[in-house]
Amino acid sequence: MAWKLSSALMLSFAGLLLTTGFTVQPVNKTRKDYEATGDIVWEVPMKEKLIALTFDDGPSPRTTPMILDLLARNEAKATFFVVGKRVEQFPDVIKREALEGHEVANHTYSHIYFNRQVSAVKITDELARTQKMITDLTGQNCQWFRPPGGFFNDKVIYTARKNGYTLVLWSWHQDTKDWSTPGVDKIVNKVLNNLRNGDIVLLHDHINGSLQTVRALEKILPELKKRGYTMVTVTELLRHKKPKTQLSIIEETKRHPIGK
Ligand SMILES: [Zn+2]
């Protein structure tokens, strides 16, 4: 797994692309703008104690089944953002994900970073190849797409929308950085110490042989249950999305100032 930019930096990067690049879209968009149009989901603030665990970069023949066992034991559902070329190698793993009630979503075919050099045709192909495999293997055809590294620009958003996808990123305070193997406790504390209703938690089920995420989940899942949380898919989380009031938009902007 390659490095990732911090979430805040990513948004600045997206803004930079907009101002310097190819696009005819308005520049200097904020997170609020993207949320208002429904083009990107970071989290779904709510009163209910629901949380969406998401796993990127799989499937892995070793760690994904271990994670599925843990999810089953804790009555948790999750969303797996799978990479098409790995689905080709390990199709049975995503079949199991779907059979056990989890959501299988699109994380491109080759885990390419969609910078501004990548064409709309390439983006469309990366999404379509993976989606066909997911649908053929699982019968699911969900609309969520997570761009590798969290890279996006308006070409990515427009191409995704044109093909029926919505970008799903993650709560900025729930970026566990488990891909960098920071230690089990760091992953556990990141999730549990920052918990808010409606969070989307970023985890990985394929990290070059590391079991840190699995070990962290052994602690996180029972604790979430103990605190009264239900772990649901992104689709289920979004079913609880409330129409925004002006006040809630202002509050949210305060919580997530532009570029912070
Ligand atoms: Zn990834």
Which residues fall inside 5 Å of ion ligand 1, going by CB? 56-57, 148
Q: Which tens digits make up the pLDDT trace of 38-85?
A: 899 999 999 999 999 999 999 999 999 999 999 999 999 999 999 999
The residues that are catalytic are 56, 204
In the reported structure, the alpha carbon of residue 148 is separated from the centroid of ligand 1 by a whole-number distance in angstroms of 4
* Least confident stretch, 7-11, 71-75, 91-95, 251-255: 7-11
Task: Tell me the pLDDT band of 254, cut-offs 50, 70 and 90.
Answer: low
- For residue 18, pLDDT over 50 is answered with no
Q: What is the pLDDT of residue 228?
A: 97
Mean pLDDT (whole number) for 251-259 = 55
In the reported structure, the alpha carbon of residue 108 is separated from the centroid of ligand 1 by a whole-number distance in angstroms of 9
Mean pLDDT (whole number) for 196-225 = 96
Mean pLDDT (whole number) for 211-218 = 98
In the reported structure, the alpha carbon of residue 33 is separated from the centroid of ligand 1 by a whole-number distance in angstroms of 24
Question: What mean pLDDT value characterizes the chain?
Answer: 88
Q: How far apart are CA 145 and CA 60, in angstroms?
A: 19
- For residue 222, pLDDT over 70 is answered with yes
Task: Tell me which of 170 and 36 has the higher pLDDT.
Answer: 170
Q: What is the DSSP string of the chain?
A: ------HHHHHHHHHHHHHHSS--S-SS--HHHHHHTTSEES----SS-EEEEEEES---TTHHHHHHHHHHHTT--EEEEE-HHHHHH-HHHHHHHHHTT-EEEE--SS-----TTS-HHHHHHHHHHHHHHHHHHHS----EE--GGG---HHHHHHHHHTT-EEE---GGGB--GGG---HHHHHHHHHHT--TT-EEEEES-STT--HHHHHHHHHHHHHHHTT-EE--HHHHHHTPPPPPHHHHHHHHHHS-TT-
Q: What is the pLDDT of residue 129?
A: 97
In the reported structure, the alpha carbon of residue 88 is separated from the centroid of ligand 1 by a whole-number distance in angstroms of 16
Burial 24-60 (b: 16+ CB within 10 A, else e): eeeeebebeebbeeebbbbbbbeeeebbbbbbbbbbb
In the reported structure, the alpha carbon of residue 251 is separated from the centroid of ligand 1 by a whole-number distance in angstroms of 30
Task: Tell me the pLDDT band of 242, cut-offs 50, 70 and 90.
Answer: confident
Q: What is the pLDDT of residue 156?
A: 96
Q: What is the pLDDT of residue 19?
A: 36
Task: Tell me which of 72 and 8 has the higher pLDDT.
Answer: 72
* Least confident stretch, 12-21, 134-143, 165-174: 12-21
- For residue 221, pLDDT over 70 is answered with yes
Q: Report the first-to-last Cα separation within the chain, whole angstroms.
A: 25
Cα pseudo-dihedral 167, 171, 177, 183, rounded to 10: -140
At the topology level of CATH, where does 7-23+33-242 sit?
TIM Barrel (3.20.20)
H, E, C per residue of 27-53: CCCCHHHHHHCCCEECCCCCCCCEEEE
* Least confident stretch, 12-26, 204-218, 246-260: 12-26
